[in-house]
Amino acid sequence: MNRNGESILNNLWQQGRCFLGTDAALLGGAMTWVSNRNLVAAISNSGGFGVIACGSMTPDLLNAEILATKALTSKPFGVNLITIHPDLEKLIEVCAKQNISHVVLAGGLPQASSIKSLKDFGAKVIGFAPALVIARKLQKMGVDALIIEGSEAGGHVGPVSTGVLAQEILPIVKEIPVFVAGGIGRGEAIVTYLRMGASGCQLGTRFVCASESPAHPNFKKSFIRAQARDAVASVQLDLRFPVIPVRALSNGATERFMKVQAELITRYESGELSLKEAQLTIEHFWAGALRKAVIDGDVENGSLMAGQSVGMVTSEQTTSEIIQELVQQASNFIEGGLMEERCSESRV
């Protein structure tokens, strides 16, 4: 590795490294059914910061997952909690019992009481900010860091791209660390956001095909074969029937979802179904679909949640290789810039 580039990179993401307690200021995105003990520990052991995806886990399941992760790594790792989970306070108690150092609150604006409960036992709280106004509100509520995630990301997404969010938030929010996420698959992009003021980056899709990822081989093959344009956000056909935007690879289920929406709209307009019945059917269409794809390997009928950076996933690698590659790309990119500066100076 080029020492000049590596040294400058370390300076660029020093704030993020100190905040996370890691060699590289890279968080693993919390992906349900994927970010389990094996992948989380592998990310942390490789110099990044693994994050357990709690999702719909019960407190007992989360406790077991944390213990299992601790058995695999002595490095720092965090837990991602969904703010609308019915047992959120009990999940926070589990994190307190296990002395979790960092907790990411996702899935909506958290309650001030949840932030306080986490900070009371010493956890650093990280919140998601899809807009500057939310970033400011989370700051006032006491979060210790932010993640800004653009619409290029996989899974549930907002309406604004990563590049726009970065321009909107990074020049303004300087009091706490800000990590950028969404569509990031190479080290050059990481350097760009660091130079804009980010403290580090979060990557999810890039780690799905890691050797340590529990994703089914069929799921991984779908990622390796996919192009960026294949990761599309779910489409809503009618304003009366809301569809939460989810970015995933197009497959048979995606096509059926469109047909189901069209059929339900027709049945509602004919009086065969009430508005509520039609809405519930649409909401339940994807129930269990992510597990079906990730764990069972049913890539035609399951949900293939993926970010647009999926086009940069071209093979299965170890987590260590992925992180080393990202750091190498970042260092080389920095060194390339230094070389250009030197050449420019010599011509003056």
Residue 120 carries which side chain, given as an amino acid letter? D
Q: For residues 344 and 346, what is the distance between their CA atoms, to the nearest angstrom?
A: 5
Q: Are 185 and 168 contacting, i.e. CB atoms less than 8 angstroms apart?
A: no
In angstroms and rounded to an integer, the radius of gyration of the C-alpha atoms of the chain is 21
Q: Are 75 and 42 contacting, i.e. CB atoms less than 8 angstroms apart?
A: no
- Closest to 98 in 3D by CA, of 69, 72, 74, 67: 67
Give residue limits of the domains in the chain: 3-214, 217-309
User: Nearest 5°: phi and psi at 14?
Assistant: -60, -40
Helix (H, G, I), strand (E, B) or coil at 238: coil
Q: What is the pLDDT of residue 287?
A: 86
Structure tokens at 99: 């002395």
Q: What is the pLDDT of residue 57?
A: 97
Helix (H, G, I), strand (E, B) or coil at 268: helix
Q: For residues 128 and 126, what is the distance between their CA atoms, to the nearest angstrom?
A: 7
Q: What is the pLDDT of residue 228?
A: 98
Q: What is the pLDDT of residue 23?
A: 98
51 vs 143, 187, 340, CA distance in Å? 17, 20, 38
> Which stretch of DSSP H or E encloses residue 231?
strand 231-233
Helix (H, G, I), strand (E, B) or coil at 178: strand
Which residues are bridge partners to 124 per DSSP? 102
Tokens 């306070």 correspond to 89
> Mind listing the pLDDT tens digit of every residue in the chain (348 residues)?
567 899 999 999 999 999 999 999 999 999 999 999 999 999 999 999 999 999 999 999 999 999 999 999 999 999 999 999 999 999 999 999 999 999 999 999 999 999 999 999 999 999 999 999 999 999 999 999 999 999 999 999 999 999 999 999 999 999 999 999 999 999 999 999 999 999 999 999 999 999 999 999 999 999 999 999 999 999 999 999 988 899 999 999 999 999 999 999 999 999 999 999 999 999 889 989 999 999 999 999 999 999 999 999 999 999 999 999 999 999 999 998 755 655 555 555
Helix (H, G, I), strand (E, B) or coil at 143: coil
Q: Are 185 and 205 contacting, i.e. CB atoms less than 8 angstroms apart?
A: yes
Structure tokens at 4: 């000049």
- Closest to 295 in 3D by CA, of 223, 224, 220, 214: 214
Q: What is the pLDDT of residue 336?
A: 85
CATH superfamily of 3-214: Aldolase class I (3.20.20.70)
Q: What is the pLDDT of residue 77?
A: 98
